[in-house]
Amino acid sequence: MTHWIAYPHKMRNQSERDVVDENDEWGVERFRHVAHPCATAPLKAALAPALGRSWSLVLLAVLLLVVSVANSDEPVGSIQELRGTVEVFRAAKAIAAAVGIFVMLGDRIETRADSEVTLMLRGGTRLMLGEDSTMIIDRHFVENETHIQTTMRLLLGKLRSWVNDTGGGGSVNFEVHTPNGVAAVRGTDFEVDFIEGKPCPADPSCLRYTTVGVYQGVVVVANPTGPAGSPPVTVTAGYETTIPCESPPTPPSRWGAEELRAPGYH
């Protein structure tokens, strides 16, 4: 059985993705499109000769909306644990978050202070969104519980991910995007932070940065907004990397060492 749910920015060059506002890749309010190009292209081709141009466009828009709504109903997972105040925004409407409710593709999930939420996705991947954080699941594709492709955006705050490696018998492509970083993994446990308004430890002149720390496994980290040709960094368990603004990721360093100061003699 295949649960497809396609998505977003990777498909923006497809003709079927016209509901997406291309002016704001990270503007979640505008990110409404849910459709699969393979499902709509034959319809579009078949209807065009039979109808006038304007009517065909109107009909196409209606069909896209129907397909879109149908696909939006496909849950990508559910809320497993919840603490504090958590809001789910679906089609610009706020939904009361509660344990057990489904999470749909494109839902924007926001946590407030002293709050966190844990999601269980189809395929067994678990996500924990920390306090004062915002995320969107853009893409989640599960085939036979063995081939899993997931892409999500962390707009602010902290996201920890336990990625199901399917027992080694399948393939997993799991990516977390922040405004200035991409962490791609398979079968691992890691944490991504995107922080705005605070000096980056690796470059205090930068006030917008991503950190990636790895609990288990290996994570490849890159900055797509960085200088062309800057190589990705491979981060192993117990290490972290920082991506300051448009700079490449720093070399991995011991996770937490910067917090250490002198031993207490006082």
Structure letter (DSSP) for residue 119 = E
Distance between CA 198 and CA 153 in Å, rounded?
Answer: 20
- 159-197 burial, b for 16+ CB within 10 Å, e for fewer? bbbbbbbbeeebebebbbbbbbbbbebbbbbbbbbbbee
Between residues 17 and 186, which has the closer beta carbon with respect to another protein?
A: 186
Closest CB 171 distance from another protein, rounded Å = 25
Distance between CA 229 and CA 4 in Å, rounded?
Answer: 33
Residue ranges of the alpha helices (H) in 88-158? Answer: none
Closest CB 223 distance from another protein, rounded Å = 16
Closest CB 181 distance from another protein, rounded Å = 18
Closest CB 218 distance from another protein, rounded Å = 13
Q: With CA atoms as reference, report the closest residue to 181 among 154, 158, 215.
A: 154
Closest CB 240 distance from another protein, rounded Å = 9
Q: Which helix (H) or strand (E) is 83 found in, with range?
A: strand 75-83
Closest CB 35 distance from another protein, rounded Å = 39
Between residues 123 and 244, which has the closer beta carbon with respect to another protein?
A: 244
Between residues 88 and 206, which has the closer beta carbon with respect to another protein?
A: 206
Greatest Cα-to-Cα distance within the chain, rounded to the nearest angstrom:
85
Residue ranges binding another protein (CB under 8 A) = 197-199, 201-205, 213-216, 237-238, 250-266
Between residues 230 and 253, which has the closer beta carbon with respect to another protein?
A: 253
Between residues 10 and 112, which has the closer beta carbon with respect to another protein?
A: 112
Distance between CA 258 and CA 154 in Å, rounded?
Answer: 24
Q: With CA atoms as reference, report the closest residue to 116 among 126, 107, 102, 129.
A: 129
Between residues 49 and 264, which has the closer beta carbon with respect to another protein?
A: 264
